[in-house]
Amino acid sequence: METASPASIAPEAPWPHRGYAWDVVIVMMMAYAFAILDRVGLGLLVQPIEADLHITDSQMGLLQGLAFAIFYSLFGLPIGFLADRLNRRAIVTLGITVWSAATVACGFAGSFLGLGAARIGIGAGEATLNPAGTSMIADYFPPKARSKAYAVYVIGTSIGTGMAFLLGGAAIGLADRLQKEGPSWLSGFAPWNIVFFLIGVPGLLVGLIFALTVREPVRRNRVGLAPKLSLKPLWTLLSGNWLAYSSLMVGGILNYTGIYALLGWFPTLLIRVHGLAPPQVGQILGVFGIPGGILSAITCGWIIAWLEKRGKNDAPILISLIGSIWFAISGVAYSIAPSANLAIFFYFAQSLVTNWAAVSTLTGLNKITPNEMRGQVVAIFTLSTGLLSVTLGSYAPGWLSDHVFGKGAGIGLGMAVVFGISGLVGGTMLASGRAAFRRILQTA
């Protein structure tokens, strides 16, 4: 395993040209958008997949959650080690290619196990993006500009979710026409299979753009050479500052749990409980979700920068706290709303803070972590969101629907339970860690 050479440690080197740095963030945002699209596109296809593959809500929850999360999580820490030592650009390029190819493979799945295997491939590829990509951003932008850069990067989650919802309905219609009127080889596939072809292939193009346009930035602000393969430095860092790291991470993890409950089951809630058609659901969620999500990312990044200029060094954890509480309250509200219009109203209210946890957590972790361990720390967060957020957020509402509240309207009550618990516990953790977060910065 290579370690960084002394030449790569150049804090005196000029920062990359700001225009080019923003170009890189936009390309990363595009990659993030397709990662989310490939990750959550399954949510709009729940009904036809369950019918064709004869699977339950609980099994669909496993496909959306555990099947994706298992390798997304397991690959996270090894990739974090590699990102702290090797070429991060190459790591991200390979990841984009793998997850896009695995999305195409979902289209060939004809069974629960086959679809699960393809979802594992998506998780393995997407595990590269946050550890390597956010580390690169920290070396492209000076500290005072990073929250804004992360905000633009995280906009990709809203664009990806919006594409999944907005284009998902159109893709279902297009897939149906392609099955009937397109090449003869497509006639053997169900429309939902073809949807995966349509959303997977463009990601391969994004990977090519990334490889051709993005350069590896100089690593800076390091306290020493990257250590040999060992968990001891990471353990020392985390255990010595356990409250700051655990509160920031647990708050983010629980907020992400609510996000995956939203992504996995809100379309089904509108279809199953409120009687909307899938294309209509896709259009509604895309129209309301994209602008709300983009606004949430931008406002979060700029609010953090504004607060930090005024001496609020704990701005990342403070904003995460406010966003988590708002997210949970609005999530409970639309989960139990008596009408589709009211549910959509609270969904839009929630979208205004959807990205606050992501932006503030990434900003906060990179703010308090030395350069040579940023990839590993973000990988720990990625691993945790994969094992806990993706799995619980996707599986728990379906399990509660099957076994507690009753399939049908019970999916809304299951979602409400997830939102309520994640908001209460997450908000408590974030509040408890503010002072510890400030202490790290004061001693840095």
Answer whether residue 330 shows pLDDT above 90.
Answer: yes
The string of DSSP codes covering 2-42 is: ----GGGB-TTSPPPPHHHHHHHHHHHHHHHHHHHHHHHGG
Q: Residue 7 CA to chain centroid, in angstroms? A: 34
Residue with the bigger pLDDT between 36 and 4: it is 36
Any idea how long the chain is? Answer: 444
Answer whether residue 170 shows pLDDT above 70.
Answer: no
Q: Residue 117 CA to chain centroid, in angstroms? A: 20
Task: Determine what percent of the chain is predicted with pLDDT higher than 70.
Answer: 89
Residue 143 in contact with residue 367, Cβ under 8 Å?
Answer: yes
Q: Domains (ranges, CATH) in the chain?
A: 14-216+232-443 (1.20.1250.20)
pLDDT mean across residues, the chain: 84
Question: How sure is the predictor about 361, in pLDDT bands with cuts at 50, 70 and 90?
Answer: very high
Return the amino acid letter for 60. M
User: Picking from 121-130, 175-184, 235-244, 430-439, which range would have the lowest pLDDT averaged per residue?
Assistant: 175-184
Answer whether residue 30 shows pLDDT above 90.
Answer: yes
User: Strand pairing partners for 219?
Assistant: 9
Question: How sure is the predictor about 185, in pLDDT bands with cuts at 50, 70 and 90?
Answer: low
Residue 361 in contact with residue 248, Cβ under 8 Å?
Answer: yes
Question: How sure is the predictor about 11, in pLDDT bands with cuts at 50, 70 and 90?
Answer: very low
Helix, strand, coil % in the chain, rounded to nearest 5: 80, 0, 20
Answer whether residue 88 shows pLDDT above 90.
Answer: yes
Q: How confident is the model at residue 49, as a pLDDT?
A: 84
Average pLDDT score over residue span 230-247: 85
Residue with the bigger pLDDT between 202 and 72: it is 202
User: Picking from 89-103, 182-196, 261-275, 300-314, which range would have the lowest pLDDT averaged per residue?
Assistant: 182-196
Average pLDDT score over residue span 276-304: 84
Question: 231-238: long-range contacts at Cβ-Cβ below 8 A with a sequence spacing of 24 or more?
Answer: 233/373, 234/373, 234/376, 234/377, 234/380, 237/369, 237/370, 237/373, 237/377, 238/377, 238/380
Question: What does the block give as tokens for 386?
Answer: 């994969």
Q: How confident is the model at residue 218, as a pLDDT?
A: 87
Per-residue pLDDT tens for 189-232? 777 787 888 888 899 999 999 999 999 998 876 655 445 566 78
Rounded CA separation 423/332 (Å) = 10
Answer whether residue 6 shows pLDDT above 50.
Answer: no
Answer whether residue 160 shows pLDDT above 60.
Answer: yes
Q: Which of 50, 65, 145, 1 minimizes the C-alpha distance to 397? A: 65
